[in-house]
Structure 1
Amino acid sequence: MIVWLIAGLLGLATGLRIGWALVNKQSVVSSAMIVALGSLAVVAALNWPPLTLLIDSALRWSNISIGLSQVALICCAAGSCVMITSVASTRSPAVVRRVAAAQYAVAAVIGIGTLVLFFLSGEQPEMSPEEYLRRNLGSTNTSLPWLLPLLYVMLVLTLVLWAGMRHSNRSRRGRALFVFTLGIALLVAAIAFFLIRAVGTSQLVGVGAAATLLGAAMAIVAAGSLLPAIEDWFGGRRELRLIDPLLTELERRQPDVGIGERPRGPLVFRVAERLSLISDALYLEATMAEHLRTGRSDGAGVEVLADLERREVGPDVQAMAIAKWIHAGRRTPRVARPAGQGEFPGMGWLGQPESYSDREWILEIARQYRELDNAARAR
């Protein structure tokens, strides 16, 4: 049951990466993540005894699932290495693709050599994966087929571990990379235990302990891969609730801005589209208010004064000024002109501060507007 839970988590993470790759432009990093997670899911599934027996019977070679697990582990290491080196690389995309192809080629050679050594070691009686490992690891005549894949996986995953720790940070993707790298660290430790048994020091490490550590490593890798999707979903739901009052008011004022809006779709795209609608509606409202204001006064002088005032306040005060201008329209009947146009601070106030991105600025205005709306409802 635990094996299938781990395999299911890894399969879910692989499916999400495949879906993301189909929606967005395919990249070397996306392909590498699919290879790494999919291969690790295969390793977990092949350690389920009923599936192991089914594959061995279908391919007519006892314990062939163990050899396939070795190849899948090599593919996981290669995909992880390609992913982390592609993310950290500053070279051109063409060079990154060539480097990735070279890494896959080396992994293919290692995988073919592993299968050749596996078949050359001879066929053994059918047994469970754990029993097979216990009998073969540590035996002088059967450990040689394990040295080649274990050494390769150990070397490659150590590189992945170093690069992952180096590029982890406090951002959303950085946190996911840290959890993924933590799983890779446990995976390196499990491979080291298997390698210790393969070289003949079997009394130091038990197969059961190494297998348990390997299972924990796969679960943590799956959690690190799923973490961005989980955070995006919860963050998207929170942002939808945050921008809903402002979007509702602006759609009342500018009903044409929502023409062509898709009511369904991935949550991240829905949030981005609604933020774009708010940005367009704010610009239309500001343009109308600016025309009305400059038609009654010296527009150039008012704009210069408003811009000087904007530079003297913080981003939260600037966002609050925009939110108050929009919120004032809820109390003023609209008669062929923007509501609350008398409180419009100026076009310069609508532009985001240098420390804010477009998305962050719209969310900040929506946050200030929601506070005003909640305070008005409380009164």
Structure 2
Amino acid sequence: MIIWVIAGLLGLATGLRIGWALVNKQSLVSAAMILALGSLGLVAALNWQPLTLLIDTLVRWPNVSTVLSQVALISCAAGSCVMITSAASERKPATIRRIAMVQYGVAALIAVVTLVGFFSAPQQPEMSPEEYLRQNLGAGAMNVSWLLPLLYVMLALTLVVWAGVRHSNRTRRGRALFVFTLGVVLIVLASAFFLLRAVGTTDLIGVGTAATLLGCAMLVVASGSLLPSVEDWFGAKRELRVIQPLLDELSRRHPNVGIGVRPRGPLLFRVAEQLSLISDALYLEATRALDDDAATLPGEVCQDSPDVSPEDQSLRIAEWIHAGRGTDGESAHAKFPGPHWLRQPPSYSDREWILAIADQYRALNEKTAVTAS
């Protein structure tokens, strides 16, 4: 059950990356991420004993699932390495692509050597993956077939850990990269335990312990890969709640703004669409206020943002919209402060500025409701 939970989480993360790659422009980083997550999910699935037995029966070669797990782990290391080096590199795209092809080529060569070493060895009785590892790691003749893939996985993922720690930060993507890197650290440790056992230098760590550590690593990697999507979903739900009162009011005043809108789709797209509606409605409201206000100076449109804090500026705009509630927006108490007040502060993006106004407007609505009650 735990294996399928891990495989399901990794499959979900892979599916989200595939969907993102289909919606957006395909990139080398996205393809490498899909390969890494999909391969790690395959490692988890191949450790389910019924599936292991089914594959071994279909191929008619005992324990073939174990070598397929090795190849999948090599693919995961290659994809992770290409992903992190491509994302962190500042070279030209053509150069980054050539470096990625070299990395994939090295991984493919090691995978071929691993497969040849397995199929050239004498067949053994059918057994579970854990029992197979316990019987063969450190068994003299089998060492060569394990050393090369384990060394590659350790070296490639150590590079991923170094780059991941270096580029982790407090942003949403930076936090996800940090969690992903923690999972990769656990995979490196599990690989080191398997490597030490393969060369016969330790009995302190059993195969079961190392396999459990690898399972924990896959769970952490899946969590790190899903973290941005989960945070985006909750963030989009919160932003929808913040902008809804302002959107309702402006949509009432300018119903034509929403004609042809298709609200269905991913939450992030819906938030972006509704923010654009608010921006258009604010422009129309400001245009109407300028037409109705004969006292507005001609040069006022060209003024810079007012010399106040962004919070005070967004509050002033929210108060202007709030004062015209329940009317057509032309209330005597809803005098337009001026177009320069609508211009976002230098430290705000368009999205952040509209969200700041919507947040202030929502707070005014709640304050009014409390006062009225």
TM-score (norm 2): 0.96
Q: Deviations over 1:266-321 (max 9, x none)?
A: 1111111111111111111112212322x335332x557xx47x442100000001
1:315 lines up with 2:315 in the alignment: no
Query: 8 Å contact 2:306–2:313 — kept in the other structure?
Result: no
For residues 153 and 85 of structure 1, the distance between their equivalents in structure 2, rounded to whole angstroms, comes to 15
SS in 1 for 2:230: helix
Q: Return structure 1 stretches of 4+ with deviation > 6 angstroms.
A: none
Query: 8 Å contact 1:326–1:340 — kept in the other structure?
Result: no
For residues 52 and 149 of structure 2, the distance between their equivalents in structure 1, rounded to whole angstroms, comes to 20
Query: 8 Å contact 1:325–1:344 — kept in the other structure?
Result: yes
Partner residue, 2:295: 296
Q: How does 1:144-293 map to 2 (within 5 A)?
A: 144-293=144-293
For residues 46 and 152 of structure 1, the distance between their equivalents in structure 2, rounded to whole angstroms, comes to 21
Query: 8 Å contact 1:121–1:145 — kept in the other structure?
Result: no
For residues 350 and 103 of structure 2, the distance between their equivalents in structure 1, rounded to whole angstroms, comes to 39
Q: Deviations over 1:20-77 (max 9, x none)?
A: 1111111111111110000000000001111101000000111000110010000000
From 346, 351, 365, the equivalent of 1:354 is 346
From 321, 340, 346, the equivalent of 1:326 is 321
For residues 110 and 330 of structure 2, the distance between their equivalents in structure 1, rounded to whole angstroms, comes to 69
Q: How well do the aligned residues superpose, as a CA RMSD in angstroms?
A: 1.5
Q: How many corresponding residue pairs?
A: 371
Which amino acid is 1:144 matched to? Answer: V
Query: 8 Å contact 1:196–1:205 — kept in the other structure?
Result: no
SS in 2 for 1:21: helix
For residues 116 and 59 of structure 2, the distance between their equivalents in structure 1, rounded to whole angstroms, comes to 16
For residues 210 and 268 of structure 1, the distance between their equivalents in structure 2, rounded to whole angstroms, comes to 40
SS in 1 for 2:170: coil
Partner residue, 1:364: 356
Deviation, 1:246, is: 0.3
For residues 371 and 37 of structure 1, the distance between their equivalents in structure 2, rounded to whole angstroms, comes to 42
For residues 284 and 303 of structure 1, the distance between their equivalents in structure 2, rounded to whole angstroms, comes to 14
Gaps of at least 5 residues in structure 2 are none
Change beyond 3 A, Cα 1:115–1:327: same
Q: Deviations over 1:324-360 (max 9, x none)?
A: 11111105x32xx755685211111111111111111
Partner residue, 1:134: 134
Identity %: 67
For residues 203 and 111 of structure 1, the distance between their equivalents in structure 2, rounded to whole angstroms, comes to 27
For residues 334 and 59 of structure 2, the distance between their equivalents in structure 1, rounded to whole angstroms, comes to 80
Query: 8 Å contact 1:326–1:339 — kept in the other structure?
Result: no
After superposing the two structures, state which structure 1 stretch, 94-103 or 21-30, moved more.
Answer: 94-103
Gaps of at least 5 residues in structure 1 are none
Query: 8 Å contact 1:325–1:340 — kept in the other structure?
Result: no
SS in 2 for 1:343: coil
Change beyond 3 A, Cα 1:341–1:29: farther
SS in 1 for 2:189: helix
